[in-house]
Amino acid sequence: MIELQQLTKVFPNGKGIFDVTLTVRQGEVFGFLGPNGAGKSTTIRHLLGFLKPTKGRASINGFDCWRESVRVQASVGYLPGEIAFPEGMTGMELLDLLAGMRRMNTTRHRDELIERLQLDVRLPIRKMSKGTKQKVGLVAALMHEPDVIILDEPTSGLDPLMQQTFIDLIREEKQKGKTIFLSSHIFPEIERTCDRVAIMKDGRLMAVNDIHELQSMQRKLFDVILAREEDVARLLASPLEIIRHAGRRVCIAVQGNYDAFIHELAQCKVQSLDIHAQSLEDIFMHYYDRRGDER
Amino acid sequence: MNGSLYKHMIKAQAKTIVSYSVGSAFYIALIAAIYPSLADSEAIKNYLQQLPDQLLKVFNITGMGNLLEFIAGEYYGLLFILIGSIYCITAANQLMARPIDRGSMAYLLATPNSRRTIAFTQALVLLTGLAAIVVSTTAAGFAADAWLVTDDALDRERFLEINVVGFLLFFAISGYSFFFSAMANDEKRALSLSGGGTVLFYSFDLIGKLTEKAEWLRYGSIFAAFEPGNIAQGQVEWLPVCLLLLAIGAIGYTAGIGFFAKRDLPL
């Protein structure tokens, strides 16, 4: 369980994070979103005990992340956002070093992970591609079967196939009852893994939402090509929100009202259909900016 | 201390440590080997007598009366200091400042080991390297005395004293270098602080030796504590000097580890 209570860190330049309060429950997958510089990594660094809060506190499983960082780290697996490994070692040497420092006595789970991620650990790290390095980091974060997994931008650099493998991995860990905290930009990844999502902006927590709430907030744009001209007029007359149309191509915005959309479309002859999903951040920003304007 | 980290770091530093050790050992043996051919040379003696006293002082040359004085002047006076200082500054930088700057320290700190343990282990790696360099230099000195220079016995006790004080000098230099490396966010800044400080100390010592008026400058220099030529002649109370160097180094390491344990890390 991760708990942040009014966590505040003010850097000398006045930036930082302010009054961040949230709770991640045991067994939950929690997504953390926000533009660059919003304070996501700063928050995560507090969880690992790298930064001392100016005010407030962060705790994991009841242990204070700053004062009892050793107790915290025993049950945490961490993937840093920036890949920077110690120099001059192969993947295996790094994993051995970290296993030794953790006093691990079994390598079963580690070997499984290496197999799953198709990782060639014999390569020197400096010769690895960004994606391969990311895999080494993932193995290092998961190999000791931690209760709490903290991942900063876990899929950056992974190809789509590996992103899928990663999502499967996260789901499995979730099934084992692990608590997972991850920051990400990629919607499908968050959508398919997270139970709840928080967004940060300018160092402040904007909102914490259930993933289903978010999905209902998401506007999807459907690019439909119709077979008959008269169907265009029919759609224009329908209650659907038409963004634009040109010839037989119509762009329809759908937010939650999928049933109405299907219903209307069923009466037309559809030649082709394309979906553009809004990114999660866009939804958030769109949603909260609008709400901010209303105030 | 964390055994796995220590073993790994020693392995990573091994190449550097071995090359410094072998280089230093080889050079002292070389100096010892050329001694017999110069010892009886009147020309060299006359030449040395013609040089101004200050210049001899600068290079810690007290004379060529025996093998020890010769080694003290020709090796410990300059090159030994140079090799040791460079090792201290670069190794401290590589062990602390670089992993902090590049972010790889995050992996080490994410393991259930306190920052103190990690920093202490890194300090131990630094000191192990330093000990290896000084011990192999000492051993090479003894070996050269035994096999290369047969007609002039080395004053073993004073030779050991030189090496002990030399080691403690580097203990002090590595102490403040470690402190700067543990404090800095930026590798270059750490390097310029410990390197700059060391060059400054050395210049103070040099200027103090060159001009009598500026002799007081030497009191501000750590290098004034190491006078191999005078130790060779038995003119140095070496125990207080040792304690002073020991204290400087101990303060540097303790403060470095202490600050590292409490600071914010940009990882």
Report if residue B267 sits inside a domain.
Answer: no
Indicate the residue type of A52.
Answer: K
Q: In angstroms, what separates the C-alpha of B180 from chain A's closest C-alpha?
A: 19
Task: Write out the two tokens for A275.
Answer: 């979906």
Residue among A49, A86, A93 minimizing CB distance to B107: A86
Strand A2-10, strand A55-60: pairing: antiparallel
ipTM for the complex?
Answer: 0.84
> Architecture of A219-277 per CATH?
2-Layer Sandwich (3.30)
In a mutational test of the B interface, the residue from A42, A87, A97, A125 whose CB has the highest number of chain B CBs within 10 Å is A97
Report if residue B223 sits inside a domain.
Answer: yes
Q: What is the pLDDT of residue A285?
A: 65
Task: Tell me the CATH number for domain A2-215.
Answer: 3.40.50.300
Count of pairs with CB atoms under 8 A, one residue in A, one in B = 78
- The more confidently predicted of residues A214 and B30 is B30
Inspect the interface and report whether the beta carbons of A74 and B112 lie closer than 8 Å: yes
B4 touches chain A (CB under 8 A): yes
Query: Other CB atoms closer than 10 Å to residue A217's CB: what's the count?
Result: 16
Inspect the interface and report whether the beta carbons of A52 and B264 lie closer than 8 Å: yes
Residue among A52, A71, A102 minimizing CB distance to B111: A102
HEC readout, A147-185: CEEEEECCCCCCCHHHHHHHHHHHHHHHHCCCEEEEECC
Number of domains in chain B: 1
Q: In angstroms, what separates the C-alpha of A70 from chain B's closest C-alpha?
A: 5
Q: What is the pLDDT of residues B103-128, one digit of tens each?
A: 999 999 999 999 999 999 999 999 99
HEC readout, B196-227: HHHHHHHHHHHHHHHCHHHHHHHHHCHHHHCC
Q: What number of H helices and E strands is found in chain A?
A: 11, 14
Q: Which residues of B114-133 are buried (b: 16+ CB within 10 A; e: fewer)?
A: ebebbbbbbbbbbbebbebb
Contact A72, A49 (CB under 8 A): yes
What domain range includes position B172? 3-262
User: Domain spans of chain A?
Assistant: 2-215, 219-277
Report if residue B17 sits inside a domain.
Answer: yes
Q: What is the pLDDT of residues B37-92, one digit of tens each?
A: 777 777 777 777 777 777 777 776 766 678 888 888 889 988 999 999 999 999 99
Query: Other CB atoms closer than 10 Å to residue A219's CB: what's the count?
Result: 17
B109 touches chain A (CB under 8 A): yes
Q: Is the pLDDT of residue B97 over 50?
A: yes
Q: What is the pLDDT of residue A206?
A: 85
Closest chain A residue by Cα to residue B261: A50
Residue A265: burial class (beta carbons within 10 Å; 0-12, 13-18, 19+)? buried
Task: Write out the two tokens for B9.
Answer: 């770091």
Contact B114, B5 (CB under 8 A): no
Inspect the interface and report whether the beta carbons of A51 and B109 lie closer than 8 Å: no
Inspect the interface and report whether the beta carbons of B111 and A73 lie closer than 8 Å: yes
- Among A residues 69-128, those touching chain B with beta carbons less than 8 Å apart: 69-71, 73-74, 76, 78, 80, 82, 84-89, 93-94, 97-102
Q: What is the pLDDT of residues B195-237, one digit of tens each?
A: 999 999 999 998 888 888 888 888 889 998 998 888 888 888 8
Rounded to 5°, the CA angle A11-A13-A17 comes to 40
In the structure, what pLDDT confidence band is assigned to residue A295 with cuts at 50, 70 and 90? Answer: very low
Inspect the interface and report whether the beta carbons of A94 and B107 lie closer than 8 Å: yes
- The more confidently predicted of residues B212 and B11 is B11
B16 touches chain A (CB under 8 A): no
